[in-house]
Every structure is written in C-alpha cells, then in structure tokens.
C-alpha cells in the first residue's frame, strides 16, 4: 500500500511537464481563491503548503466520457486521488436539494478533463511546493520526503486542489482537496459550496478517500 501511494504521487507530479492551460477568466479565478481561502481557514487546517497547480476533474471514475446511470443512491468513493463527478453523482446532489436542474446540467457539462492551472502564490497564504521541489524531496524515500516537507514548510502536511466546477453565475461550486501528511496518512475531501449575500458557505463536505 505504501509503495502504491508513493507511486501515485510521483506519477501525478511527473505528468505535469507541459505548460498549464491558458488562464481562466477573472471571475472564475477570484471565486476559486475566495473558496480555497475559506476552506483553509475553517475546514482544513494545519497544512503548510500546496501543490503548484490544480489537478484534473473527470466525468467518470476512469476519466472517460459519461456513462448514464439511473440510480440516485450515493455514488461510490473514487480511487485515491482521482477526482470525478459522474451522472449519478450529480443526480445525488440534485436529490439532496442542493442543485436545481439547470445548475446540475451546467456544472456537469462544464467539466473539462484537460483543464488545470497554476496556483498563484500571491493569492494564497501558504507556500507552494514546486514540481522540482517535490521530485527532489521524494527522489529516494517517501518518509524522507515528508521529513523534508516538514523541514522546509513547518509541517509534513500539504494539499492539492482540484480545478473548480462552477454553475453559470458562479454561485455554486464543487471543489476537491487532497491532503497528504505521511506515507500512509492522507485523506481526500469533496466540498459543495453556495455563495449567498456575497459569502461562500460549505453546504456539504464529504470524504472521498483515506489512508
């Protein structure tokens, strides 16, 4: 389990060799950082750094095109560190009255499984771990890598943020956060948020994986 966990981490960073996609529009970015700041202040604390770019969100568990599923039971958890929102997932959130039909449609259709962007250090209070730092930290041993994160950033815990999913008017959002604190110590979260009277509130917070 420990070796698999390490391998997944290395692959995720190693595959980020190309330049990120062009910067999204300003409102998209502003609302993303507003939500991320909110989550770091009130939901996920005691982390000392963040991965240098967002990670992809897929439309199915394996990143393929949508496969219709008419069940409205809670969706199964995805594999560790794979963020996805399939048809069943949207139906489940809709059933819980957090989304209207139009919001659900727009949010699902907006998912672009190639979309990611660099985290702006000026917009976030915690340091960014660069790709080069990560590969250097974990080049020989996973436990040593987390020791180096602690030495450089204060704790061994760092996060990765997914690319956000918004509705049409940027008042509803889904965001995935993966938190890593050690070789077999980590957890994933999915947040559903709504903006009302200018403030974002977390409506649902669900675990997606744990080790």
- Within a domain: 69: no
- Within a domain: 174: yes
Mean pLDDT on 178-207: 92
Which residues partner with 174 through β-bridges? 165, 192
Count of all residues that appear for the chain in the document: 211
pLDDT at residue 6 tops 50: no
Q: Answer yes or no: pTM beyond 0.95.
A: no
Determine the pLDDT at residue 5. 46
pLDDT at residue 93 tops 60: yes
- Within a domain: 88: no
pLDDT at residue 51 tops 80: yes
Categorize the per-residue pLDDT at 137 as very low, low, confident or very high, splitting at 50, 70 and 90.
very high
Categorize the per-residue pLDDT at 122 as very low, low, confident or very high, splitting at 50, 70 and 90.
very high
- Within a domain: 106: no
pLDDT at residue 71 tops 80: no
Supply the DSSP symbol for 162. B
Domain containing residue 43: 2-14+24-56+116-210
pLDDT at residue 139 tops 70: yes
- Within a domain: 175: yes
- Within a domain: 77: no
| Total domains in the fold of the chain | 1
Average pLDDT of the chain is: 83
Mean pLDDT on 202-211: 89
- Within a domain: 154: yes
Distance between CA atoms of residues 93 and 12, nearest Å:
28
Mean pLDDT on 121-147: 93
Going by C-beta distance under 8 Å and a sequence separation of 6 or more, which residues neighbour residue 60?
Answer: 66, 67, 84, 86
- Within a domain: 149: yes
- Of 34-48, 67-81, 119-133, 176-190, the least confident: 67-81
Count of helix runs (H) and strand runs (E) in the chain: 6, 9
């Amino acid at each position: 389990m420990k070796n698999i966990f390490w391998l997944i981490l290395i692959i995720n960073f190693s595959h980020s060799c190309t330049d990120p996609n062009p910067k999204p529009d300003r409102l998209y970015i502003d609302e993303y950082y507003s939500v991320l700041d909110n989550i770091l202040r009130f939901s996920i604390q005691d982390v000392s750094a963040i991965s240098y770019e967002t990670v992809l969100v897929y439309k199915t568990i394996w990143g393929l095109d949508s496969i219709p599923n008419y069940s409205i039971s809670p969706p199964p958890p995805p594999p560790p560190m794979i963020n996805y929102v399939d048809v069943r997932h949207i139906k489940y959130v809709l059933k819980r009255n957090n989304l209207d039909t139009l919001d659900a449609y727009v949010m699902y259709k907006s998912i672009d499984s190639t979309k990611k962007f660099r985290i702006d250090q000026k917009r976030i209070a915690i340091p960014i771990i660069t790709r080069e730092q990560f590969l250097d930290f974990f080049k020989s041993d996973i436990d040593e890598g987390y020791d180096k994160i602690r030495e450089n950033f204060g704790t061994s815990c760092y996060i990765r943020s997914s690319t956000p999913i918004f509705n049409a008017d940027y008042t509803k959002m889904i965001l995935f956060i993966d938190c890593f604190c050690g070789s077999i110590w980590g957890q994933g979260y999915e947040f559903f948020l709504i903006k009302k009277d200018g403030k974002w509130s977390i409506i649902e917070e669900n675990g997606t994986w744990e080790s």
